[in-house]
Amino acid sequence: MTQPTTLADATRLAQDIEHHLNQVLIGQRQVVREVLIALVSGGHVLIEGVPGLGKTLLVRSLGKALELDFNRIQFTPDLMPTDVTGHAMYDQKSEQFRIRRGPAFTQLLLADEINRAPAKTQAALLEVMQERQITIEGKAFTLNEPYMVLATQNPLDQEGTYPLPEAELDRFLFKVLIDYPDHADETRLVNMVLDGTIRASLDVESLTPVTDAAGLKAMKTLSDGVLIDDEVLDYALRIVRATRDFSGLSHGASPRASIALARASRVQALFEGRDFVTPDDVQQVARPVLRHRIQLSADAEIEGQTPETALGRLLEQVEAPKQ
Amino acid sequence: MELEKASARLAPRSPWQAVDLGTKLYRQWAAPVLWVWLAFTLVPFGLMLGWSLLAETLWPLFLFWWLKPLWERPVLAWYSHALFAETLTLKQLFQRWRQYALPGLASQLTWRRFSPARSFNTCVWQLEGAKGEQLSQRLRALNSYPSNRAGIMTIVVLHLEQFMAMGLMVLLYTLVPWQFSLEWSDWFYDQGALQMAIASATLYLVMCVTEPLYVACGFALYLNKRTWLEGWDLQLGLTRLGRHRASRTGSTLLMLLALLLPLPEPVTAQPSPRNNEEQQQVIELLAGPDYMPFEERTERQWKDRDDDSDSWLEKFWKHFFDNLDDDEQQEPSDSPFDIPDAVLWILFWGVFAGLAIWLLIKVMDQLGLGSRNRDSTPVIPTHVAGMDIRRQSLPKNLRDATEQALGANDIRLALSLMLRSALAELLRRYPVALAAGSTEQQCLRNLQAAHGEPLPILYLQRLIQAWISTAWAHRPVDAETVRTLLADWEQISAEEAANA
């Protein structure tokens, strides 16, 4: 399996993965790019979009293209934390306790409709996401690298949902908005299904693996070497800090967001084939890094603003780096 | 009506003090009055609510609301007796219903239904029993100046009622379990039976509080007006004084009457010392706060123009308007403002037209119709990517400044100077909308999107690439590349100037 050794190789590989995923998930180039950046950055992603836009397909394709284990949990109000992480059960045969590993023991975990489960179950993912380990009966199990949680939530059907707590939201590197494909892409998708080019069930069996966990690890290592100038880093920090006292926002992003923005900017530069970060790279990833970490003030909500419009204004106002 | 039996002190008050008295009456008798209200309204309300729910219509509830003047009558009857120490039982109220409920009811339920002074006027109809012309005269007299403020009081109570009903309804909605799927927003467009029942019940509950309060306040205003007009307080004072003196001399009342009568001459030239003493007592009594409530009042009134004013501004305006007023009767004057009429007319209408146009422009701007809004030429920014591109911040001689930076081996500074100069010049020639947060690449993209790729923009692309490589990738271009870029820029500038 291909393993990049130079930055150019890493860029080629990243673009190759991107190309493969775009063949399956039609009309969602931005989503694919953002999910891949998060994966290479070692972060988790919260995907928000209405049903039927290919969220599950994306994760399955990702698992197939990168030869990663994939598990899916449908979050429901009666889901218990042990249903996610696993638990110890008594084996009558051996007269000993045996650990039953939950679906969180994987590499790509799709937490579908995460906000349907109560806070206790959502919190079960905190340790998994932050420490990349699961503790059962006092024993910590380290998870395989790479490890990524892709949680989804539906923005429309809010009845009987439990909003994610700030602490958990902060642990997602990106919040990715998945929207309907444009007319041309949707036409292409329908035609491909009708032609039999792809099956209506949109299975990913035809997808060939592009790289594996080792390849991803190499990409991550190479992205760590991408240069970020002091002025550009300062720009990233100024953007995050501006969220804390920006009109229309009741609370801003934490220092974890600053780290996330810098890391994601590096990977974005790598995807663009550069070994240095430009202010444009920072701007490109600022929205997915920040949109779930800010909270609109009451008056801004009444005025009909959204986190997107507020971030748009903020990015316009924070001066780009000086010479 | 035996005023001495009144359980409230009858004294002239301001309307708001009278309303205060009304609230005190309500607070004192809240429980019995609530029973009266419930006795006369609960059954009709229940019937109308049932009808409303069965027929799925709001008309029965509207009818209940419309009959409010009728429901208020028993409450007023109870108050009017209770004030004079007579407590009517529910049985008595039902028995006397025809006597107090019917006078004036027809008009109150038809053309006078929306009268803001309803609570006040009901007292006249119900308690005085006047009819025809006599009633009209009474109403005119009692509603004469100064105002009794019954209208404002009605508006206040109306708002109180609506806000309380709204608040109670919101409270109930928050307490309804979510399984009922009862949304507050549904109330406005999709009223089911449950919503209707909640809305009606809350309004009725609120009315149980506001209606007795409203009647009490109206009644207190009525008592106050009569106290002012008919001197009830004086009557009471004299009665009390008369009783007090009767046992001793019986002459005080005569003395009072003698004092109050407008006699041209005193009857006795030299009153006895005892008479003097009593007279002094009466004067002090009448001058007391009960009878002569002094109050300070500030009013603004129009006054005639003061022709003797020395103010030059007033003189100018006077002269100005006099001139505008009478063209033909104008006489020669020695005023320092002796300006020809035509000039004044032009001045006046000029200022007027100017103000009107200014106002029109402001309004059009507000509505987004102004010429300023239609002008799509973007404002040239002063900073791009944090770089100051104002003319005054740029070097007068770009070549010298760039060579100087190259001489100091500061490639970054040299490129920065060139980039600032190029951006300043290009944005003047090819304006685009940019924000403070626009990066140099964004600037380039916007220029390309708006103006395509003419030679100067292609040049800017090369320059930005060199800048990015130097500034952000820490791979400075060599000095020769900078010089080539500088020479190209000078050539482009010269060509552009020649074409211009």
pLDDT at B212 over 90: yes
How far is A211 from A208, CA to CA, in rounded Å? 9
- N- to C-terminal Cα separation, chain A: 43
Q: State whether A229 and B471 contact (CB < 8 Å).
A: yes
Query: In this predicted structure, what is the pLDDT of residue A141?
Result: 86
Residues B207 and B106 grouped into a single domain: yes
Distance to chain A for B422, nearest Cα, Å: 15
B429 inside domain: yes
Output DSSP code: residue B9: -
Please state the φ and ψ torsions of residue B261, each to the nearest 5 degrees: -75, 140
Percent of chain B predicted with pLDDT > 70: 72
Which of B194, B119, B206, B196 has the alpha carbon at shortest distance from B162?
Answer: B206
For residue B440, the chain A residues in CB contact (below 8 A) are 279, 320
Tell me which residues of chain A have a C-beta less than 8 Å from any C-beta of chain B.
227, 229, 231-232, 274-280, 283, 315-323
Q: Are A278 and B383 in contact (CB < 8 Å)?
A: no
> Which residue in chain B is spatially nearest to A276 when comparing CA positions?
B473
Q: d(Cα A164, Cα A119) in Å, to the nearest integer?
A: 7
- The first and second tokens of residue B121, run together, are 């006027």
User: Is residue B273's pLDDT more than 60?
Assistant: no
Q: What are phi and psi of A112, to 5 degrees?
A: -80, 130
Identify the three-state secondary structure at position A22.
helix
Query: With 0-12 CB in 10 A as exposed, 13-18 as middle and 19+ as buried, what is B404?
Result: middle
Q: Which residues are CB-contacts of B182 (< 8 A; sequence separation ≥ 6)? A: B173, B176, B194, B195
Q: Which of B416, B436, B442 has the CB atom closest to A323's CB atom?
A: B416
First to last CA, chain B: 102
Q: Which residues pair with A141 in a beta bridge?
A: A134
Between chain A and chain B, how many beta carbons pairs sit less than 8 Å apart? 64
- Between CA A87 and CA A75 the distance in angstroms is 18
How many Å apart are CA B425 and CA B403, to the nearest integer? 20
Give residue A189's pLDDT. Answer: 78
Q: What is the DSSP letter of A140?
A: E
Considering only CB atoms, B472 lies closest to which of A232, A315, A322, namely: A232
Residue span(s) of chain A under CATH 1.10.8.80 come to: 225-323
CB contact under 8 A, B383 and A319: yes
B429 CA: distance to closest CA in chain A (Å): 23
Which of A274, A316, A321 lies nearest to residue B435, judging by beta carbons? A316
In a domain, B406, yes or no: yes
Can you say whether the dihedral through the CA atoms of B216, B218, B219, B224 is positive or negative?
Answer: positive
Considering A81-95, A115-129, B35-49, B411-425, the range whose residues carry the highest mean pLDDT is: B35-49
For residue B219, how many C-alpha atoms fall within 13 Å in the half-sphere facing its CB?
A: 27
Which amino acid is it at A246?
Answer: F
What was the ipTM of the complex prediction?
A: 0.77
> Counting every residue, how long is chain B?
500
Statement to judge: residues B180 and B32 lie in one domain: yes
- With CB atoms and an 8 Å threshold, state whether B473 touches A322: no
Chain A CB contacts of B442 below 8 Å: 280, 283
Question: Which residue bears the tokens 């109330």?
Answer: B187
Q: Which residues contact A121 (CB under 8 A, 6 or more apart)?
A: A75, A79, A80, A81, A83, A84
Q: What is the DSSP string of B417-447?
A: HHHHHHHHHHHHHS-----TT--HHHHHHHH
Query: A311 to chain B: nearest residue by CA?
Result: B437
Rounded-to-integer distance, Cα A278 and Cα B475, Å: 13
Closest chain A CA to residue B420: A323
pLDDT at B126 over 60: yes
Q: Which chain B residue's Cα is nearest to A312?
A: B437
Judging contacts by C-beta atoms under 8 Å, the chain B residues touching residue A275 are 473
Report the DSSP beta bridge partners of residue A88: A99
Residues of B with a Cβ under 8 Å from any A Cβ are 383-387, 412-413, 416, 419, 435-442, 468, 471-474
Distances (CA, A) of B73 to A13, A238, B204: 89, 71, 17
Residue A274: list chain B partners with CB under 8 A: 473
Of the candidates A76, A70, A43, A69, the residue with the CA atom closest to the CA atom of residue A55: A70
Residue B154: C-alpha distances to residues B72, B127, B160, B216, B221 (Å) = 14, 20, 10, 12, 12
What are the C-alpha distances in Å from B382 to residues B276, B392, B400, B423, B460?
94, 11, 23, 10, 18
Closest residue in chain B to residue A235, using alpha carbons only: B437
What's the rounded Cα separation, in Å, for the pair A175 and A178?
Answer: 10
Residue B264 pLDDT more than 60? Answer: no
- The arithmetic mean of pLDDT across residues B357-380, rounded, is 67
A1-221: CATH superfamily = P-loop containing nucleotide triphosphate hydrolases (3.40.50.300)
Whether B30 and B93 share a structural domain: yes
Secondary structure letter of residue B180 according to DSSP: G
**In this structure, are residues B119 and B214 in contact, taking their beta carbons and an 8 Å threshold?**
yes
Whether residue B336 lies inside any domain: the answer is no
Q: How far is A87 from chain B (nearest CA, A)?
A: 34
User: Does the pLDDT at position B176 exceed 70?
Assistant: yes
Contact at 8 Å (CB) between A258 and A237?
yes
B159, part of any domain: yes
The tokens describing A67, both together, are: 């030869």
**Is residue B318 assigned to a domain?**
no
SS3 assignment for B40-52: HHHHHHHHHHHHH
- Which range marks the domain in which residue B359 is found? 348-373
The secondary structure of residue B151, as a DSSP letter, is H
Contact A205, A198 (CB under 8 A): no
Closest residue in B to A280 (Cα–Cα): B439
* Greater pLDDT, B280 or B159: B159
Query: Do the Cβ atoms of A278 and B439 come within 8 Å?
Result: yes
Residue of B417, B472, B474, B475 for testing the chain A interface, max A β-carbons within 10 Å: B472
Q: What is the pLDDT along chain A (323 residues), one digit of tens a residue?
A: 667 888 888 888 888 888 888 877 888 888 889 999 999 998 899 998 887 777 878 888 888 888 888 888 888 888 888 888 888 888 888 888 888 888 888 888 888 888 888 888 888 888 888 888 888 888 888 888 888 999 888 877 666 778 888 888 888 999 988 888 888 888 887 887 787 766 655 566 677 888 888 888 888 888 888 888 888 999 999 999 999 888 888 888 889 999 999 999 999 999 988 889 999 899 989 999 999 988 888 877 877 788 888 889 898 888 888 65
User: Are B437 and A322 in contact (CB < 8 Å)?
Assistant: no
In this prediction, residue B154 carries a pLDDT of 92
Residue B395: asked if its preceding bond is cis (omega within 30°), the reply is no
Q: How far is A221 from chain B (nearest CA, A)?
A: 19
Contact call for B472 and A277, based on CB within 8 A: yes
Cα distance between residue A112 and residue A133, in whole Å: 20
Which chain A residue has its CA at the smallest distance from B179's CA? A160
Spatial CB neighbours of B3, under 8 Å, sequence gap ≥ 6: B10, B232, B235, B236, B239
Tell whether B76 and B12 lie within a shared domain: yes
Contact B386 A275 (CB under 8 A): no
**In this structure, are residues A193 and A200 in contact, taking their beta carbons and an 8 Å threshold?**
yes
Do B432 and B378 touch, CB atoms closer than 8 A?
Answer: yes
pLDDT of residue B354: 93
Same domain for B361 and B410:
no
The stretch B379-403 carries a mean pLDDT of: 72
Residue B301 is assigned to a structural domain of this protein: no
Task: Give the separation between CA B45 and CA B66, rounded to whole angstroms.
Answer: 12
| Structure tokens that stand for A86 in this block | 């696993």
Question: B293 in a domain, yes or no?
Answer: no
- Whether B472 and A279 lie within 8 Å, measured CB to CB: yes
Average pLDDT over residues B34-57: 90
Q: What does B271-322 look like in DSSP terms, one character per residue?
A: --HHHHHHHHHHHHHHHSTTT---------------TT---HHHHHHHHHHH
- Do B254 and B136 sit in the same domain of this protein? no
**Residue A279 distance to chain B (closest CA, Å):** 7
8 Å CB contact of A323 and B442? no
Chain A environment of B436 (Cβ under 8 Å): 316-320
For residue range B283-301, list pLDDT tens digits in order. Answer: 666 556 555 555 556 667 7
Check whether residue B87 and residue B226 sit in a common domain.
yes
List Cα–Cα distances, B422 to B383, B398, B407, B417, B435, in angstroms: 13, 10, 21, 9, 18
Pairing of strands B387-388, B383-384: antiparallel
- Residues A8 and A219: their CA atoms lie apart, in Å, by 10
Q: A91 CB contacts (<8 Å, ≥6 apart)?
A: A97, A98
Q: How many residues does chain A have?
A: 323
- pLDDT band, very low/low/confident/very high, at B468 (cuts 50, 70, 90): confident
User: For residues A308 and B396, what is the distance between their CA atoms, to the nearest angstrom?
Assistant: 43
B50 lies in the same domain as B142: yes
| pLDDT reading at B272 higher than 60 | no
Please tell me the predicted confidence (pLDDT) of residue B261.
44
The CA distance from A258 to the nearest CA of chain B, in Å, is 18
d(CA B423, CA B425) in angstroms, rounded, equals 5
Six token digits for residue A138: 């006092």
Chain B residues near residue A276 by CB distance under 8 angstroms? 472-474
| Nearest chain A residue (CA) to B468 | A278
Residues B135 and B238 both lie in one domain: no
- pLDDT, residue B71, reads 93
Taking contacts as CB-CB distances below 8 angstroms, the residues of chain B near A279 are 385, 439-441, 472
CA distance A22 to chain B (A): 25
What residues of chain B lie within 8 A of the CB of A320, using their CB? 384-386, 436-440
- Are B65 and B159 part of one and the same domain? yes
| Number of folded domains that form chain B | 4
Q: How far is A229 from chain B (nearest CA, A)?
A: 6
Compare CB distances from B474 to A229, A283, A323 and report the shortest one's residue: A229
Domain with CATH 3.40.50.300 in chain A: 1-221
For B66, residues 6+ apart whose C-beta sits below 8 A from its C-beta are B109, B113
Q: Which member of B386, B416, B419 has the closest CB to residue A320? A: B386
Tell me the DSSP string of B74-107: HHHHHHHHHHTT----HHHHHHTHHHHHSTTHHH
Inside any domain, residue B464 = yes
CATH class of A225-323: mainly alpha
In angstroms, the CA B454 to CA B434 distance is: 19
Please indicate whether, in this complex, the C-beta atoms of B473 and A320 are within 8 angstroms of each other.
Answer: no
Q: B189 and B127 in one domain?
A: yes
DSSP, res B124: I
CA A59 from chain centre, in angstroms, equals 10
| Residue B210: band (very low, low, confident or very high) from pLDDT cuts 50, 70, 90 | very high
- Alpha-carbon distance B136 to B122, whole Å? 13
Q: Do A323 and B387 touch (CB under 8 A)?
A: yes
Top-ranked range on mean pLDDT: pick from A182-186, B70-74, B86-90: B70-74
* pLDDT for res A69: 85
Let me know whether B142 and B250 are in one domain: no
